[in-house]
Amino acid sequence: MTYQYFSNSFFFFVLFFGVLNMSSWWVFLFFLMYIYPFLHCMNFSLGFFSKNYYICLDFFSFLMLILTFWVVFLSIISSLMIKNLKFSYSFILMFFSLFIFLLTFFIVNNFFFFFFFESSLIPTLAIIVGWGNKVERIKSGYYLFFYTLFASMPLLLSLFFLKKTNFSLSFSFFEINKALVLVYIFLVFSFLVKMPMFLVHSWLPKAHVEAPLSGSMILAGVLLKMGGYGLYRLFSLYKMFLSYNLVWTYISIWGGLVSSMICLRQVDLKSIIAYSSVSHMSLVIIGLLLFSFSSLLGSLMLMVAHGLCSSGLFFLANVLYERSGSRSIFLNKGLMSMFPSLSIWRFIFCSINMACPPSLNLISEIFLLNGLVSWSFLFVFFLMILSFLGGVYNLFLFSFCNHGSIFSSIFFFNSCYLIEYYILFMHFFPIFMFFLKLDFFF
């Protein structure tokens, strides 16, 4: 026992010494590989009260933790080229701090999680502004900062008010009066901006387009899920205001349809994938705010599936950008004749994004459709159009890039590397395995 304690202490000493003194990227990667298997040895159950006063590790937070480890690990591997740049150690330090903030956000059992919710903004902003692609990254950083800050200050005031009225910051002891509609709006709005909900989504496409590859991957894979996790944690408060939840539901249905149509008007690969994220997150918002078991389960599945699929699509877009020097769909054409194996991966991820079998996206949308239509049959018409448009913009994304004639001004293509196929496979493998083992969610 003493030896095990000493070895663990020595390992964490080496970790913090290595990362804080910026000695090597591989220390951080080794830390992720070391600690990930221990998550599966933890004891958790589906019950909300299967936790102590400080730590909550129920099924929802467990899956978010696994998703965080997975996406952060793949993001670091995909950005190894930054290792040769001047400020590469600052980059890994930002990733390490972001990883710690995400980890603590998903396991804290009281409203101190607001601190970690907001702290994740600082390393994200540093990654986008410091290692972004163009001059416009400053503007996209402003969008990200002020949208989040505008929504989070009312949330902080609401938490102060609830602490004063309930004499506790724990989720388990919170109650809210039905008359306090303004407090409810403040509580829910910050998480809706983080998702993001349509009408407050403008920061997301700008942040994705200007962010580096690893920033886009972790933004789509994990950071968007923080809003959904916050909504789930506070649903005991939101269920007192079901009539007001309808407002966000109708906005999300309309926003999902509009953002799907906007996807068809984009010419930037990253922008198309970013707007498809807005469309998918609108379904997650509706499922979380209707509170049926089917819709909650479908939202959880879609958050996990979208985090992996969207991260893989951003990585594919960056693979093309590194070879052609452009993300325009008009310049990246005819790639099936140049990279047939890469075209297969693009076909797989576009199919997963439009919820084709065998993928977790299909099961999640079935559960969501079941929950939404059982609540109101009028939803079925809008959801039919939303599913159809999802297929349209994914076919649009696939066919434009892979078919047609190669642009004559692009003279040179590097071949694909093994590490790129490894990263794509590691995005695809969990989605496929969850489809084969659906009893994991019950």
Residue 9 lies in a domain: no
Give me the number of domains the chain comprises: 1
pLDDT at 281 over 90: yes
Q: Which amino acid is at 255?
A: G
DSSP code at position 358 = S
Residue 338 lies in a domain: yes
Q: Which of 267, 206, 231, 277 is nearest to 401 (CA)?
A: 267
Length of the chain: 442
pLDDT at 233 over 90: no
Query: Structural domain of residue 138, as residue ranges?
Result: 36-441
Residue with tokens 């919170």: 174
Residue 19 lies in a domain: no
Q: What is the per-residue pLDDT for 53?
A: 64
pLDDT at 10 over 60: no
Q: 251 and 198 in contact (C-beta within 8 Å)?
A: yes
Residue 13 lies in a domain: no
Residue 405 lies in a domain: yes
- pLDDT band for 22, please (50, 70, 90 cuts): very low
Residue 430 lies in a domain: yes
Q: What is the pLDDT of residues 144-155, one digit of tens each?
A: 888 888 888 888
pLDDT at 313 over 90: yes
Q: 199 and 161 in contact (C-beta within 8 Å)?
A: no
Q: Give the residue with greater pLDDT, 81 vs 220.
A: 220
Q: Which of 293, 307, 327, 326 is nearest to 220 (CA)?
A: 307
Q: What is the pLDDT of residues 61-111, one digit of tens each?
A: 888 988 998 999 899 888 888 777 777 788 888 888 898 899 889 888 887
pLDDT at 322 over 80: yes
Instruction: Kindly provide the residue ranges of all beta strands, DSSP E only, lying in 268-344, ordered along the sequence.
Output: none
Q: What is the pLDDT of residues 358-408, one digit of tens each?
A: 899 999 999 999 999 988 888 899 999 999 999 999 999 999 888 888 776
Q: What is the per-residue pLDDT for 368?
A: 93
Q: In whole angstroms, what is the distance from residue 277 CA to residue 393 CA? A: 12
- pLDDT band for 414, please (50, 70, 90 cuts): low
The arithmetic mean of pLDDT across residues 120-139, rounded, is 85
Q: 288 and 235 in contact (C-beta within 8 Å)?
A: yes
Instruction: Report the greatest alpha carbon distance in the chain.
Output: 68
Residue 16 lies in a domain: no
Instruction: Kindly provide the residue ranges of all beta strands, DSSP E only, lying in 298-387, ordered along the sequence.
Output: none
Lowest mean pLDDT among 35-49, 239-253, 293-307, 357-371: 35-49
Q: What is the per-residue pLDDT for 183?
A: 86
Residue 18 lies in a domain: no
- Count of beta carbons in the 10 Å neighbourhood of residue 101: 21
Q: How far apart are the first and last CA of the chain?
A: 36
